[in-house]
């Protein structure tokens, strides 16, 4: 594979193979030095904690060097500097790019400009494929399978790269997705043909997984709802709603969480929560992806 630009269009077999490969890195039981001597450059035009750190940790585990590029804090930096940044970092000796950007086509453009494998670490509102793989791996570990799992994605789907990434790949793995939220949070048209619900309470009893999305004030989530308090009342995951779940059901969230908004603190830290497992699985997943990308360096 040429880096990881998208999971869209990947077959079930390809996705499962990738998950198996990621699983082989869990727990550090296997020593891989497949990245030895390579250089992974992380280019983040948007702030990130867990994604960036887990990519860098993964690269270190593989024996690769890491270069980090922090975009100017202002998101008004224009495309010229984006292109120039990629050309500069390529010339400096990058083997694999890890890119996060607010533009939907940033990963493809980076690949075209650099001629290097590119790993999409979250672009625009389009996709965050390593988050999707991380969540799929976490679910597979918990339930032993993905086929037929019923997952409700709750929140501002329209503004969420995580949700779009899940929609692009999880159904291929047999997951049954339901989108839950107020109608302004759904895209005006639905390319995926998935079930939608505006009533979380009526869904809780049927779901294996409640996947909560962050209310992203920075992406204009608040334009779709009259108030955060109102949202928390209708869609916030609290103890009362927790009690309406099946005993085997779990709570997930890609982080960072807004405590008291989409999820209460006690729920996030409770025994149903897989949030920290998600974070932990981020490293082996990124090791697998980087290992494949580094394998084809010059």
Partner 1 sequence: MIVIRNARVLRSDRIEQSTVVIEGDTIQTVGEEPAVNGARVIDADGAWLGPGLVDLHVHFRDPGQTWKEDIETGSRAAAAGGYTAVVAMPNTQPPIDDGERARAVMERATAIGTLDLRAAGCLTRDRAGTEMADFDSMYSAGVRIFSDDGDAVPDAGLLRRIMMYLGDLPGAVVADHAEDRSLAGNGHLHDGVTAARHGIEGLPAVAEDVIVARDLELANATGSRIHVQHVSTANVVGLIRQARERGVKVTAEVTPHHLALEESALESLDPNLKMYPPLRDAEDREALAEALASGLIDAVATDHAPHATAEKDVPFEEAPRGVIGLETSAAVVSSALGRDQALFFDRMSVAPARIAGLDRQGIAVEPGSPANLVLFAPERRWTPGAFASKSQNSPFRGLELTGKVMTTIYEGRISHEDGSG
Q: For residues 73 and 78, which CB has a smaller minimum distance to partner 1 in the complex?
A: 78
Give the one residue of 9, 27, 72, 191 binding partner 1; rule: CB under 8 A: 191
Q: For residues 24 and 48, which CB has a smaller minimum distance to partner 1 in the complex?
A: 48
Residues facing residue 298 across a β-bridge = none
Residue 190 sits in the site that holds partner 1 (CB under 8 A): yes
In terms of Cβ atoms closer than 10 Å to its own Cβ (0-12, 13-18, 19+), residue 280 is middle
| Shortest spacing between CB 28 and partner 1, in angstroms | 35
Each residue of 89-102: b (16+ CB within 10 Å) or e?
bbeeebbbbbbbbb
Give the one residue of 52, 61, 126, 214 binding partner 1; rule: CB under 8 A: 126
Give the one residue of 61, 140, 164, 286 binding partner 1; rule: CB under 8 A: 164
Cα angle 231, 282, 63 (rounded to 5 degrees) comes to: 155
Residue 109 sits in the site that holds partner 1 (CB under 8 A): yes
Distance CA 42, CA 121 (A): 9
| Shortest spacing between CB 107 and partner 1, in angstroms | 11
Residue 70 sits in the site that holds partner 1 (CB under 8 A): no
| Shortest spacing between CB 69 and partner 1, in angstroms | 17
Tokens of 161: 């790269």
Residue 189 sits in the site that holds partner 1 (CB under 8 A): yes
**CA separation (Å) from 266 to 237, 257, 286?**
10, 12, 29
Q: For residues 66 and 103, which CB has a smaller minimum distance to partner 1 in the complex?
A: 103
First to last CA, the chain: 14
- Region binding partner 1 by CB under 8 A among candidate stretches 16-24, 75-83, 130-138, 208-216: 75-83
Asked whether 213 and 154 are in contact (CB, 8 A), the reply is yes
Residue 177 sits in the site that holds partner 1 (CB under 8 A): no
Residue 77 sits in the site that holds partner 1 (CB under 8 A): no
Helices 106-114 & 79-91, crossing angle to 10 degrees? 40
Q: Which residues bind partner 1 (CB under 8 A)?
A: 78-79, 82, 103-106, 108-109, 124-127, 158-161, 164, 187-191
């Amino acid at each position: 594979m040429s880096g990881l630009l998208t999971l869209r269009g990947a077959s079930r077999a390809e996705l499962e193979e990738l998950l198996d490969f990621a699983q082989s890195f869990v727990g550090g039981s296997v020593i891989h030095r497949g990245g030895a001597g390579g250089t992974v450059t992380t280019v983040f035009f948007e702030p990130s904690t867990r994604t960036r750190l887990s990519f860098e940790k993964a690269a270190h585990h593989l024996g690769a060097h890491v270069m980090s590029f922090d975009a100017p804090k202002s998101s008004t930096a224009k495309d010229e500097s984006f292109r120039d940044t990629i050309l500069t970092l390529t010339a400096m000796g990058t083997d694999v790019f890890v890119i996060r950007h607010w533009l939907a086509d940033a990963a493809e453009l980076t690949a075209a400009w650099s001629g290097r494998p590119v790993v999409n670490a979250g672009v625009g509102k389009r996709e965050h494929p390593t988050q999707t793989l991380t969540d799929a791996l976490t679910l597979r570990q918990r339930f032993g399978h993905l086929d037929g799992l019923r997952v409700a994605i709750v929140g501002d789907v329209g503004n969420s790269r995580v949700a779009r990434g899940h929609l692009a790949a999880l159904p291929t793995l047999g997951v049954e997705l339901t989108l839950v939220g107020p109608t302004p949070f759904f895209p005006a048209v639905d390319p995926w043909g998935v079930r939608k619900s505006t009533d979380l309470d009526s869904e809780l009893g049927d779901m294996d997984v409640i996947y909560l999305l962050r209310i992203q004030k920075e992406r204009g989530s608040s334009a779709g709802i009259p108030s955060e308090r109102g949202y928390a009342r209708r869609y916030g995951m609290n103890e009362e709603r927790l009690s309406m779940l099946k005993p085997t059901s779990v709570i997930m969230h890609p982080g960072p969480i807004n405590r008291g908004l989409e999820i209460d603190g006690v729920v996030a830290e409770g025994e149903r929560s897989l949030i920290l497992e998600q974070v932990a699985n981020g490293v082996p997943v990124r090791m697998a992806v980087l290992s494949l990308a580094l394998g084809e360096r010059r």
